Chain A
Amino acid sequence: MEEQLLDKSVIETGEMVLNMGPQHPSTHGVLRLKIHTDGEVVSKIEPIIGYLHRCFEKHCEKLSYEQIVPFTDRCDYLASMHMDHAYSLAVEKLLDIELPERVEYIRVIISELQRIASHLVAVGTFGLDVGAITPFTWTIRDRERVLDLFEALCGARLLYNYIWPGGVSHDLPPKFLERTIEFLEYFDPQIDELNNLLTTNKIFIERTADVGVLPPEVGINYGVTGPSLRGSGVNFDLRKNEPYSVYPNFDFDVPLGEGIMGTLGDSWDRYYVRVLEMRESAKIIRQAIEQLPDGDVHAALPKKVRPNAGEVYGRYESARGDVGFYIISNGKNIPLRVKMRSPAFCNLSVLSEISEGWMISDIIAILGSLDIVLGEIDR
């Protein structure tokens, strides 16, 4: 074997297996891709996951309902608020409690801010994947402002543990709403600037339009959700289709891919849907701030979460798609089983389907456009 390896006189001309990751600049974490290539062209691609597996679901069987919240933070670390919110919604459904209006509005404001922050990272790193470095630093700069707001809110910048079953940990700090409005005023022109620099750039369009086309039926079959599915023109957003919290009170659109620059459902569409969603989120935040009622945020917070025996499935539209928490309770303060539906996992599963026949550079672009977070895939 050793001799065979060292024998350099034999040059193979067949398929080459390329091992991309787990340590690679563009796999967005610790994803490993086994790529079969013929020259630059990829004939087969096999994602291998599990490098970030932390036994989230097993841990949940040993922890009380409140103690699980910090663990959900660590699933999708780019949209921790969404995970908290999704989990809390499921537990509240199980408890069957009514929340004060103020809590719901605060949650919506925070979730939409989180959506902006998460999409900023997605859009920036997608630019980075196709070689544009400057848009990334710009989006990170803007995300910093959202993180500053969250820091004022709960003291943490990445893993918040803010939204709890039954409420939120603190009421809004003074001046928070003013600062949020200030951020939104600042943020709107930034999107235009990003569009000028990246979205409409000729090279960027060449690299992403028509690349990695996800036909709507394939996306639905694979269970792709979120902006990745909406990029294919499928109008599916849980905030509209199965409204939770106070989302019915707001007027907002669901941006869909239209194939403006190429085919419907290409990487550019998936990217652009995220850009448009940031504007929609800003719209929702403005409305929520206007309608924000007074009240006590801790009113519904149960002293001890001890739901009756039963099971529940809660769905939530996170920045990456449809997050589901399936919780079985046996009447104790510790859940019997918690199962999480990870949107990024389903989104990643479609990668091998849509990226065959493209080049290595395109694989990176397609992967970036699916916007995966490995913490959530591996759990």
Chain B
Amino acid sequence: MTSIFDSLQITFSGLNLDLMIVLPAIALMGGTVIFLLMAVNALVAVYFERKVSAFMQDRLGPMEVGILGFKGGKRFWGGIGQTLADAIKLLVKEDILPNDADRVLMILAPFIIFTGAFLTFIGLPFAENLVISDFNIGVFYIVAMSSVGVIGIILAGWSSNNKWSLYGAMRAAAQIISYEIPIGLSLLLVVLVAGSLNFGDIVQWQADNRWFIFHSPFSFLAFFIFFISIVAETNRTPFDIPEAESELVAGWMTEYSGFRWALFFLSEYANMLIVSIVASTVFLGGWLSPLQMFNVLPEAWLFLDGPTLGLFWVFLKAIILIFVMMWFRWTFPRLRVDQLMYLCWKVFIPFGLANLFFISLWELLF
């Protein structure tokens, strides 16, 4: 698997430029792509979420705002420009810092959270050969980077000098750190079977054998532990206790407004995309076509399996997972703090550990 970083380096090497110019230039290009992806993702995902929630709640959702005179159709595409207008509104909004807040930390916190999401994208594979930088330890890197955000959350909660924020931050810290463990255990199971921490190798293993979710009953269970844990990791309902709009006003984001709040929002939706792509890569065959599993298609249709459509398949799987997360959000009530911890420490972690043990036996026997 060649990464974008490598291929750009090869391209630039033909120009005989100094390495000190080439490397920052490549990094900048990669960074711009990631940033654009995050921004577009947030715009589309927010619109998608609003429409999904609207249809679940017997409403229409945004219907008025258009882009460049195009207002969208009567039903689904109505109000297509709403999130763009919201983004502009957030950018021009007054920037409020409370008097007694810790100004440095309060300004710093959103950027730390944003950085966590941003850095994760570097190791994230979108398709075969379509990864910014291909690590040997890709899975480990993503697990590590996705927990950087919790530092920002604690800083945001503490520096706001607001009791609701503090509650939200403490809840978030406990929750995210706890749910790292079942996520790690589920990923470990895959690593154990595939024998590699590299996303490319893991998908290659799935291409040679079968998708991980169908590999054994234990990996099937691991997928569900993983998926529920990533919902908790991204602070979405029913695990959104750090925000808990009806209890904590807005949790750790209470005192934030304008652009800084927009960064939180951007990171939240970016995190949703990240965890969904990881789930679809590790458990659902990544850029492998689902049609590949059944050898029923005529020859002419085989291009659907090919590497060219990898990006499409990854995003299709990710979007389905994101839809399920939205479905959760608009269906379930919220858990209480202790129930959340109970679920993690007394259900997911014992099952995750047992899973790891049994999959080892399974591998030994079959």
A residues with CB within 8 A of B = 5-6, 8, 16, 18-19, 24-26, 40, 127-134, 137-138, 141, 197-198, 201, 203-204, 206-207, 359-362, 364
Other-chain residue from A8, A25, A137, A364 in contact with B58 (beta carbon distance below 8 A): A137
Contact B333 A132 (CB under 8 A): yes
CB distance from B34 to the nearest CB of A (A): 32
Contact B330 A133 (CB under 8 A): yes
Contact B332 A360 (CB under 8 A): no
Contacts of A360 in B (CB 8 A): 167, 247-248
CA distance A129 to B56 in the complex (A): 19
- Answer whether A131 and B238 are a contact pair too, CB < 8 Å, given A360-B247, A361-B247: yes
CA distance A360 to B247 in the complex (A): 7
Other-chain residue from A18, A138, A197, A206 in contact with B335 (beta carbon distance below 8 A): A206
Q: B228-271, CB under 8 A of A: which get 1 and which 0?
A: 00000000011011001111110000000000000000000000
- Answer whether A26 and B247 are a contact pair too, CB < 8 Å, given A131-B240, A134-B56, A138-B57: yes
**Which residues 127-181 of B have a CB within 8 angstroms of A?**
163, 167
- Answer whether A134 and B336 are a contact pair too, CB < 8 Å, given A26-B246, A141-B58: no
Contact B245 A207 (CB under 8 A): no
Contacts of A16 in B (CB 8 A): 163
Tell yes or no: B94 within 8 A of A by CB.
no
Closest 3 CB pairs of A and B: A131-B334, A137-B57, A132-B333
Contact A6 B246 (CB under 8 A): no
Contact B336 A132 (CB under 8 A): no
Contact A364 B246 (CB under 8 A): yes
CA distance A134 to B332 in the complex (A): 9
Contacts of A131 in B (CB 8 A): 237-238, 240, 244-246, 332-334
- 27 A–B contacts, CB within 8 A, in A order: A8-B102, A18-B163, A26-B246, A128-B246, A129-B246, A130-B333, A131-B240, A131-B334, A132-B331, A132-B334, A133-B57, A133-B330, A134-B53, A134-B57, A134-B330, A137-B58, A197-B331, A198-B333, A201-B332, A201-B333, A203-B333, A206-B335, A207-B333, A359-B336, A360-B248, A362-B336, A364-B246
Name the residue in A133, A198, A206 with the highest tally of chain B Cβ atoms < 10 Å from its Cβ: A133
CA distance A48 to B33 in the complex (A): 54
Name the residue in B163, B238, B332, B335 with the highest tally of chain A Cβ atoms < 10 Å from its Cβ: B332
Chain B interface size band reads: 20 to 34
B residues with CB within 8 A of A = 53, 56-59, 100, 102, 163, 167, 237-238, 240-241, 244-249, 330-339
Contact A206 B244 (CB under 8 A): no
Q: Is the interface of B mostly helix, strand, loop or mixed?
A: loop
Contacts of A364 in B (CB 8 A): 246-247
CA distance A17 to B163 in the complex (A): 9
CB distance from B272 to the nearest CB of A (A): 18
Contact A203 B249 (CB under 8 A): no
Q: Apart from A134-B56, A138-B57, what 12 extra A-B contacts exist at CB < 8 Å?
A: A16-B163, A26-B246, A131-B237, A131-B238, A138-B58, A198-B333, A201-B332, A201-B333, A203-B238, A206-B339, A361-B336, A364-B246
Closest to B161 in A: A8
CA distance A235 to B282 in the complex (A): 58
Closest to A130 in B: B333
Closest to A131 in B: B334
CB distance from B31 to the nearest CB of A (A): 35
CA distance A6 to B59 in the complex (A): 48
Contacts of A362 in B (CB 8 A): 336
Contacts of B246 in A (CB 8 A): 25-26, 128-131, 364
Contacts of B240 in A (CB 8 A): 131
Contact A24 B249 (CB under 8 A): yes
Contact B337 A359 (CB under 8 A): yes
Closest to A18 in B: B163
Contacts of B56 in A (CB 8 A): 134
Contacts of B244 in A (CB 8 A): 131, 361
CB distance from A141 to the nearest CB of B (A): 6
CB distance from B87 to the nearest CB of A (A): 23
CB distance from B212 to the nearest CB of A (A): 28
Closest to A365 in B: B336
Closest to A8 in B: B102
CB distance from B21 to the nearest CB of A (A): 45
Other-chain residue from B238, B331, B334 in contact with A134 (beta carbon distance below 8 A): B331
CA distance A130 to B56 in the complex (A): 18
CA distance A36 to B58 in the complex (A): 40
CA distance A16 to B339 in the complex (A): 23
CA distance A131 to B335 in the complex (A): 8
CB distance from B344 to the nearest CB of A (A): 15
Contact B332 A132 (CB under 8 A): yes
CB distance from B58 to the nearest CB of A (A): 6
Closest to B164 in A: A18
CA distance A97 to B221 in the complex (A): 72
Closest to A24 in B: B249
- Answer whether A203 and B332 are a contact pair too, CB < 8 Å, given A137-B57, A137-B58: yes
Name the residue in A16, A127, A207 with the highest tally of chain B Cβ atoms < 10 Å from its Cβ: A207
Contacts of B330 in A (CB 8 A): 133-134
Contacts of A141 in B (CB 8 A): 58
